[in-house]
Amino acid sequence: LHTIHKLLQAHALYEKDVDYLVQDGQVVIVDEFTGRVMVGRRWADGLHQAVEAKENVQVKGETQTLATVTIQNYFRMYEKLAGMTGTAETEETEFYSIYGLDVMVIPTNRPARRLDQPDRIYKTRREKNNAIIDETERLHEQGLPILIGTVNVDVSETLSRQLKRRGIRHEVLNAKYHQREAEIVANAGQKNSVTIATNMAGRGTDIKLGADLDLTAEEAGLQIIGTERHESRRIDRQLRGRSARQGDPGATVFFLSLEDDLMRLFISDRIAGWMDKSGVEEGEVITGRLVTRSIEQAQKRVELQNFQTRKRLLEYDDVMNQQREVIYALRLGALERGEELKAEARRMIQAALEQSVLGYLAAATRREEYDRGGLHDAMTLQYLLPVDAVVDADRTPDIEQIVEAVQEEGEQAFQRKLSYLNEFGETMGATDADLQILSQVMLSVLDEKWKDHLYDLDQLRNAIQYRAYGQRDPLVEYKREAFDMFEDLMRDVHSTFTERFLKIQVTAPPPSPRQAQAPVPRPTRTSASDDLFPCAASAPRLPPAGRQEGGAAGGAGSPKPQVLAGPLATGTVPEVGRNEPCPCGSGKKYKKCHGAAR
C-alpha cells in the first residue's frame, strides 16, 4: 500500500521541469523557492524511486536518514542570532515567535525610484502569456533591459519559445543552465537585453545597468515582468528588488491569470464572476489597486497557513531535539575518550545487566520460582558472564542480591577486558588501545541504533495524525509514544554495547621475518581509470618519502616487495610535460628522470 501511495503521489503531484529535472539519466530536485537544482538531495520514503520509475530512468536504492535537524533548531544552537535581508518585514511575526528576534527596517541608501504598477489579470493563461510577449516586444523596441521572472522551468521555456517566434533575442536562466548564471546576470542590464529567469535571478543578484542607457526618459531602467504571484510575498518582493537599485529608475508589473495556482485556489471565482457580469472579452485586462490588495490578502492567508505548518513541524522536532541532545552528548563523550568514557561505559554495563536480570525474572512472583539455572545460562550466552552466585540461593536469596552479583561480575569482566586491550596495545605500540576500541564500539552502537530510531520516529509522525479521528491531540500522542520509544532505544543501546564490548576480541598477525629486518616501502596502488599515464598504468611506482610499512602498521596480508624504478621500454613513454611527474613512478620530474636524455 505504501508503494502504491508513493507511485500515485509521484504521478499526480510531482511535475517534470517544475519540481524536478531529468539530467544525465538522473532525477534532480529543484528548490521551489530559489529555482536552483539541489545536487545530492533525494526524497525519502520511496518517493524519489517512484519519480525515477515514472521517468523511466535507473531506480536507485532508497536512502536512510542518519541525522536530522530542522533549520529552526539548527539556528537555535547559536548563542547569538542576527541577520540582514531586504524582505524580512513580512515575516516579522515568525521571527519573533520562533527565535525571539525583532525586525528593524533600515531606510534605503538613496530614495527609491521604482514604479510598481498594478497587477494585470487575464482570464486564461494563454491570454496572459500573449500579453507578456506583447509588453516585452514594446519595451524591447525602446531598447530597455527586461527581466521576466517565472515560477518554474516549464514556464520559462514556454515563454522562450514564444519570444523566438517573435524574433526577439533573449537569454534563459533556470536550473538547466545554471552554469552560465554569472554571464547571463552580467549582461541582463545592458541595452536591448531580454532575460527570462526563475527565482534564481530573484535572490541576491545585483544587475548593473548599461552605461549607454538613457535614465532620464519616462520609462527607464530595468523593467521587471512577473508571470505569476508566488505564495510568499517575500519572493515577489525579491523579484521587484532587482530593479531600481541604488537610486536608479525602474518599473515592475505582474501579469496574472485566473488559471494561476494562487488565483485558482483563493480568489478566482469571485473575480471570474465579476468579469462575466461586466462582459469582459477575450484578451481584455483587469487592473486596479482593489484587485492587487485582494491578491495580497490571499498571499497573507497562504503565508499564515505555511507558518502554522512550520510551527507545528517545529513542535514535533522539539521532541526529537531533546532526544538528539542526549545521543549527541554520548557521541561527544565517545569521541573525546578519557576517563569519562570509561565511566559512561561502566554505567551502561550496569544498567544493561540490571534490566536483563529483571526482565528474565519478571514473571516469577516468589523466590522459589526463580529460574536460576536459566538465568546463569542466559548471562553466559549473551554477555559471557558465568555468574555462579546466581545458582546459589543462599548467597543470592532475593532479586536485589542477584542483580548485585551479576553487576559485580560485570564490573570484573569490564576491568579484565580493559587490561586485555591495554596488553594488546603495548604489543602493538599503542598506549591507549582500550580507549580507542571502547570509543569505536560505543560510536558504532550509537550510530546504528539512532539511525533506526530516526526511521521509526518518522513512521510514527506520519501515522500519528490519524489519532485526531479519535478526538486525541496528535502532538500529545506523539510526545508520549516518542518517549516510550526513546526509553526502548536506550535499553537497546545499553544491552548491545555491553554484549559487543564484553565479547570483543582483537588480533593482529605477527610481523614476518622480512618485515622485522627492515621496513619495506609500500607501493602506491592506482587504477587505470585514475592514472595520469594510461599507457604506463602497469609501471611500478614508489611511495612518497617517509611512507613505510612496518610490522605494526602492516595489517593483514603479506608485505609487498620493494620495487625500484627502472628504464621504460622504448615506445612506452607517453608524451608528458618536462615538469610533470615521470611515468616510471620514481617521484621525480620527467626532465630529471627519463626525460633528461631527451
Alpha carbon distance 122, 287 (integer Å)? 9
Q: Which contacts qualify for 51-60: CB closer than 8 Å, 24 or more apart?
A: 51/10, 51/14, 51/20, 51/27, 52/27, 53/7, 53/10, 54/7, 54/10, 54/11, 54/14, 55/16, 55/22, 55/27, 57/22, 57/25, 57/26, 57/27, 58/25, 58/26
Q: Do domains 113-287 and 337-503 have the same CATH topology?
A: no
Name the strand (E) or helix (H) holding 273.
helix 268-277
Contacts of 483 (CB under 8 A, 6+ apart): 319
What is the number of alpha carbons within 13 Å of residue 424 lying toward its C-beta?
17
**Residues in the chain, pLDDT under 50:** 515-516, 518-573
**What residues are paired with 23 via a beta bridge?**
26
Q: What is the pLDDT of residue 486?
A: 96
pLDDT of residue 527: 37
Q: What is the pLDDT of residues 13-27, one digit of tens each?
A: 999 988 899 988 899
Cβ atoms of 332 and 325 within 8 Å: the answer is no
The string of pLDDT tens digits covering residues 462-477 is 889 889 898 999 999 9
Beta bridge partners of 173: 197
CA of residue 393 relative to chain centroid, distance: 57
Fold designation for 113-287 = Rossmann fold (3.40.50)
Q: Model pTM greater than 0.75? A: no
CATH topology for 337-503 is: Helical scaffold and wing domains of SecA (1.10.3060)
How far CA 99 is from CA of 69, 87, 475, 486, in Å, comes to 16, 17, 21, 27
Of 113, 172, 122, 182, which is closest to residue 147 (Cα–Cα)?
172
Angle among Cα 129, 131, 137 to the nearest 5 degrees reads 105
Q: How far apart are CA 278 and CA 529, in angstroms?
A: 71
The pLDDT, as a whole number, for residue 220 is 93
How far is C-alpha 336 from the geometric centre of its chain's CA atoms? 26
The position carrying cell 591507549 is 432
Q: What is the pLDDT of residue 227?
A: 94
Choosing among 3.90.1440.10, 3.40.190.290, 3.20.20.450, 3.40.50.720, the CATH entry for 2-54 is 3.90.1440.10
Q: What does the pLDDT read at residue 559?
A: 39
DSSP string, 126-150: HHHHHHHHHHHHHHHHTT--EEEE-
Q: Where are the domains of the chain?
A: 2-54, 113-287, 337-503, 527-546+564-598
